[in-house]
Amino acid sequence: MRRLLGAGKRHIVRRCRGLGRSPLLRNAIIAFGCVTVAAFAAAAEEAPVLEIGSGVEPFVDDWLIQSMTNVSLRLHHPTRREVALEFDAPWEGPISFYVTVFKDEDRYRMYYRGWGEPDDPDDVTCYAESPDGIHWTKPSLGLFEVKGTSDNNVIWTGEGTHNFAPFRDANPAAADSERYKALAGGPLIALASPDGIHWRKMRDEPVITEGAFDSQNLGFWDTVRGQYVAYLRGNIGGIRTIGRATSADFLNWSGTTWLDFGDAPTEHLYTNAITPYFRAPHIYLGFPKRFVPERKRVAEWSSSGVSDGVFMTSRDGLHWHRFVEAFLRPGLDRDNWTERNMHIAAGVVPTGADELSVYWVEHYRHPTARLRRGTLRTDGFVSVHAGHPGGEFLTKPLAFQGKELVINYATSAAGSVRVEMQDAQGRPIAGRSLDDCPEIYGDEIEQVVTWNDGSDVSAEQGKAVRLRVALTDADLYSIQFRP
């Protein structure tokens, strides 16, 4: 820090030489400047070093960012694709809902509630599968007789069909007979399956009793923290919200802790769709359905309330950054402007080398009720964005493991990205300044950053460094230091 202070003072003195002969003015400016440099130097030295290893770090929040100049975090939106599934079987219908999708080795699995009308007692849990996450089929399983036939895709008719939410258990200690697990009902019961098709209750008594539960209550094994996590509906002061519980064995759970949404406004969050991001499992993504009960867009519709999908993210599971603008709007389709539409399914899955898919319910309570697929680029939820004439941002001190820096970015034909690597005090590392970095332009999921003398940054691994990134008409979605 002593060297930085000395260099800063010399720079300020040089800049003050043209201010005239008033020593009082010069000395005041020099003193002020030195205080500023000292404050920066102290902050630089005291800033904690972020250990990021060699994993993917998407810019879904500002965790990595120290400062931004003429750039901002931009939320991106899914591109509407084909209708993935029609809820048109006799045991399905207009109020089919609460969809879960996950990739399971060589196939994609989908689970959802099949339900025709509120006075129909036969709501059931249905199953579909796909080889690619795009083309879905409803297999005839013959497990239960429903509506006079066992030629159906029903996998559960017992307690909890209203909101059956399964997952493949990644816990290495899980028994093969319980490789798939689910939470369902309200209070929540625990279920298990060896194959994702044949299910049983793990015990008769509920496992989670604190909450409201009339929603899609989700569970999963957190591979980073080594515990089961559940996210469930709550109600605080008449406002629908989200709570969290944890468990070591899926049967004995902690009490419910309500999530902290920071400075986001208090709004009804009807579902949560929370999942660890499979490319960066230390980060949770959430896609709540935001419900606005007092609005009515379609005058002749019997019920009030409109919905959209929002996006939020967390690094500890309790404190969340929630974008207030919609991630998924109802759009031009009038039948999506009636109550409780735009339910985003639980699950984000890869459906191509550069593509992610999410799914959502449309036309809820209409005869045409269905599930649509939407896509984003890999890591494409949020970017650091700069327009023209450009801007830059500086990261906090970070320590990495790897040989080269890989970025996921997109520019216009005239845009660019350049990267500078600095030491922890903000001094450019020799050969890694902005001037040493040729302009990067194009659109790539994985682009190795190269300076004039190459791309190898292994000499800096394990040390505290900062990245200064200059952007012009460009988006940066994620970074990774790759071995």
Higher pLDDT, 39 or 409: 409
Residue recorded with tokens 């940054």: 457
Give the angle subtended at the CA of 212 by the CAs of 209 and 217, to the nearest 5°.
80
Higher pLDDT, 119 or 222: 222
Q: What is the pLDDT of residue 357?
A: 98
262 has a pLDDT exceeding 60: yes
What are the pLDDT digits (tens) for 190-229? Answer: 999 999 999 999 999 999 999 899 999 999 999 999 999 9
328: Cα separation from own chain's centroid? 14
Band (pLDDT 50/70/90 cuts) for residue 47 is confident
Distances (CA, A) of 217 to 272, 292, 375: 8, 20, 24
Q: What is the pLDDT of residue 18?
A: 43
Contact 91, 113 (CB under 8 A): no
41 has a pLDDT exceeding 90: no
Band (pLDDT 50/70/90 cuts) for residue 45 is low
What are the pLDDT digits (tens) for 65-77? Answer: 999 999 999 999 9
Q: What is the pLDDT of residue 117?
A: 80
The total number of residues written for the chain in this structure: 483
Q: Which run of H or E residues covers position 413? A: strand 404-423
Band (pLDDT 50/70/90 cuts) for residue 121 is confident
Give the predicted TM-score (pTM) of the model.
0.90
Band (pLDDT 50/70/90 cuts) for residue 308 is very high
Band (pLDDT 50/70/90 cuts) for residue 455 is very high
For residue 430, the tally of other CB atoms under 10 A from its CB is: 9
Residue 434's SS3 state is helix
Residue recorded with tokens 């991630």: 327
Q: What is the pLDDT of residue 25?
A: 42
46 has a pLDDT exceeding 80: no
Average pLDDT, the chain: 92
Residue of 188, 228, 323, 202 whose CA lies nearest to 269: 323
Q: What is the pLDDT of residue 268?
A: 97
Q: What is the pLDDT of residue 253?
A: 98
466 has a pLDDT exceeding 90: yes
Q: What is the pLDDT of residue 416?
A: 98
Of all residues in the chain, the percent with pLDDT exceeding 90 is 88
Average pLDDT over residues 183-195: 97
Phi-psi category of residue 265: left, alpha or beta, with phi > 0 → left and psi -120 to 50 → alpha: beta
Average pLDDT over residues 52-70: 98
16 has a pLDDT exceeding 60: no
Band (pLDDT 50/70/90 cuts) for residue 2 is very low
Residue 210, C-beta contacts closer than 8 angstroms, at least 6 positions apart: 243, 245, 255, 256
Least confident of 39-53, 289-303, 328-342, 423-437: 39-53
What are the pLDDT digits (tens) for 381-393? Answer: 999 999 999 999 9
